[in-house]
Structure 1
Amino acid sequence: MSPAPSSPSSASGPLAESLTPDILGDPWVARHLPVRESPRKAPGAHHAVLVHQHQAGRAGVPRHAKAVLYIHGHSDYFFQTHLAQAYLETGYEFYALELRSCARAGIGHPRPHSVRDLRVHDEEIAKALHVIRTEHGHATVVLNGHSTGGLQAVIWAADHPATVQAVVLNSPWLDLQASAFMRSYGTAFVDLLSRHDPDRVIPDPRNPRRGAGVPDVYVRSLHQHWEGEWDWDLALKPAVSLPARAGFLTAVRRLHREVHHGLGIQEPVLLCCSTTTGPVSPTVQEAQRSDVVLSVEQMLARAPLLGPDVTVCQVPEGVHDLSLSRPAARAQYLASVTQWLRARLG
């Protein structure tokens, strides 16, 4: 699956980037957002992609006054149109930002989803918010991040107060799921390694068969090709998750430390996660009713450190991406998000 040929955008000024039909088909379009190249922080990455429906905003007149900006996780991309529909039915226009070197913006990149400083993504987040607010005219914006995108979202909200009105987190990656020894000494070793060999692949001790071509049990539990209900492009969200490299993992751990010391986000935050952390070697059935990627306990422990106004919602039998859970858990997650938004933002 590849993007459609470019056609000129109707926008004007420095953000008049190309607007093309998206891989999801009508009414979805993809907007190319050029970014400054950074050989040190994100070598080989020169653009991000903003995905939305073509009716979202024309001539500064939005279809909905409110909007949500979704940020994907590692080794992932936006395809969850049912998530977008839930927001649309609640009165929120939906935008998905695919960060430089990632997902749609990572097609053809030699090391997709691998940057050495996560704050390099600030540029494309700022550009996306400019499109949403200034060009399309949305007055209220909610940041919605999944997994690594959740970490990205809370760091943005802490660094840029009042640029969004709320933050919704879907199983955010707020700590390293490993022993205390690995979180301390292992992090220090990877940090040292990253200075000399940032592209070195760091093995996942919880998944020793990764790299041997064995599909992740998480993917097998969700994708129609195996035992799941979802169909997505395995080139963009592969069966074997993309490796974590030393530079990327060091960048993530740097932000984990900031979370640990407290972020002080003043806007309301909703943190959603499963009720259960899956076992180290789960069966497909266990992977369909628990989080087999991250630790639920770590998310709960870190939640109070995000800011003074944090609501936690746990979803029984939720999977790592709660929007891909089985029907009952998925419905509970979507209802919890939309009800919280109505209560907090009207």
Structure 2
Amino acid sequence: MIPDPVLGEGYSVRRLELGADGEGPLVASLVHREPTVPAMPEHTGRGEKPPILMMHGWSDYVFDRALLEHLGEAGHDVWGLDLRKYGRSLLPDQTPTSVDHLSRYDREIEAALRIIGPDRPPVLLAHSAGGLTATLWAQRRPRTVRALALNSPWLEMHLGSGVRTLAQAPVRLLAEHLRHRPILPSGSSHYARSIHRDFGGMYDYDLALKPARGHRFPAETLAAVLEGQKRLRAAGPLTIPVLVMHSARSRFGTSFREDMRRADSVLDVHTLARAARRLGPDVRIEPIEGARHDVFLSDADARVRAIRILDDWLETLAP
């Protein structure tokens, strides 16, 4: 492991070698908050808090140092995973975010969990598309994960499963021909305008790694997301605790409006919540007034509430 140039002092990053695809070598990046107290023994008592593994969304990467610090200071062993072709893991000449099936990410998740410790199943704290990937993993490999904390997870398409069903076949056909090439035009900058300092927001991050309009959306990636949502809808209930946090409302439009600063301008929160209720018997759903798509990148009042909800829920997890 080497010092992490993104988060700075107190953080290290390890490259996970994942083989290669048609664009060349594949890597993922596992970030670790270095403990400030002596390491716990491998087999610990019932009082140990679970590790936390943070997973980012689409066109995103792990960068919220303040949240990582908060969780670390609360006693959790904190990790973050930049998936292949995202953030720290994006190599020259690769198509950002490109993947042909979400199960490809099993390689890096499995490697990360092996490093964290096979007898230390973590809580997966996953955002947006990362929430979909984390949920699919937990359904297939339930004993490897202590619980899921989902931050505005992309569990279903806008307007529900009917839209997804109609879109899936033509998108799959296009993906077979376009593959890495984009299927959608560049998105709006409304979300970035609400959060990034350069556009009047409160937060700072690398716009090369998380562009204001998002990376161009590869055709095969959209097909993979639709297929993943279909598998999720057909899967059985999760047997682990799940927390789902999202904004209290969505706001969309072709032009930016000030109320987008206190709403989800990316996903439909009503569709999200309906999909979340189907995940299993132990699901806690928390709409957060004033939150944005990433509830932890909201104005101070909503961010504080999101962190308090997460802290309270983490305390309910039996050791």
Common fold by TM > 0.5: yes
Deviations 1:281-321 (A, max 9, x none): 35352221000000101111101221221110110011000
Q: 1:94–1:301: structure 2 CA closer, same or farther, 3 Å change rule? A: same
Which of 113, 125, 143 is matched with 2:109 structurally? 125
Which of 29, 38, 59 is matched with 1:49 structurally? 29
Cα distance in 2 for residues equivalent to 1:52 and 1:284: 38
Which of 142, 147, 151 is matched with 1:170 structurally? 151
TM-score, with normalisation over the residues of structure 1?
A: 0.85
Q: How does 1:146-157 map to 2 (within 5 A)?
A: 146-157=127-138
Question: 1:141 aligned to 2:122?
Answer: yes
Deviations 1:72-124 (A, max 9, x none): 00111111011112212322111000011111101424311111111111011
Cα distance in 2 for residues equivalent to 1:94 and 1:154: 19
Deviations 1:193-240 (A, max 9, x none): 112221231225xxxxx37xxx61110111111110111111111112
Cα distance in 1 for residues equivalent to 2:278 and 2:178: 32
Which of 67, 79, 85 is matched with 2:69 structurally? 85
Identify the range of structure 1 (182-191 vs 157-166) with the bigger mean alpha-carbon deviation.
182-191
Q: 1:159–1:220: structure 2 CA closer, same or farther, 3 Å change rule? A: same
**Equivalence for 2:169:** 188
- Which letter does structure 1 place at the counterpart of 2:243? L
Question: 1:30 aligned to 2:3?
Answer: no
Which of 188, 195, 198 is matched with 2:179 structurally? 198
- Which letter does structure 2 place at the counterpart of 1:336? I
**Equivalence for 2:211:** 238
**Equivalence for 1:265:** 238
Identify the range of structure 1 (30-39 vs 245-254) with the bigger mean alpha-carbon deviation.
30-39
Secondary structure in 2 aligned to 1:92? coil
Cα distance in 2 for residues equivalent to 1:54 and 1:312: 31
Unaligned runs of 5+ in 1: 1-8, 10-18, 205-209
**Equivalence for 1:294:** 267
Cα distance in 2 for residues equivalent to 1:322 and 1:316: 10
Cα distance in 2 for residues equivalent to 1:195 and 1:56: 49
- Which letter does structure 1 place at the counterpart of 2:144? T
> In the alignment, is the contact (CA less than 8 A) between 2:171 and 2:219 conserved in 1?
yes
> In the alignment, is the contact (CA less than 8 A) between 2:250 and 2:263 conserved in 1?
yes
Identity level (%): 33
Secondary structure in 2 aligned to 1:328? helix
Q: How many residues align?
A: 315
Q: 1:180–1:126: structure 2 CA closer, same or farther, 3 Å change rule? A: closer
Unaligned runs of 5+ in 2: none
Q: 1:90–1:284: structure 2 CA closer, same or farther, 3 Å change rule? A: farther
- Which letter does structure 1 place at the counterpart of 2:281? P
Deviations 1:234-279 (A, max 9, x none): 1111112112221111110011112222442111000110110112
TM-score, with normalisation over the residues of structure 2?
A: 0.91
Q: 1:54–1:91: structure 2 CA closer, same or farther, 3 Å change rule? A: closer
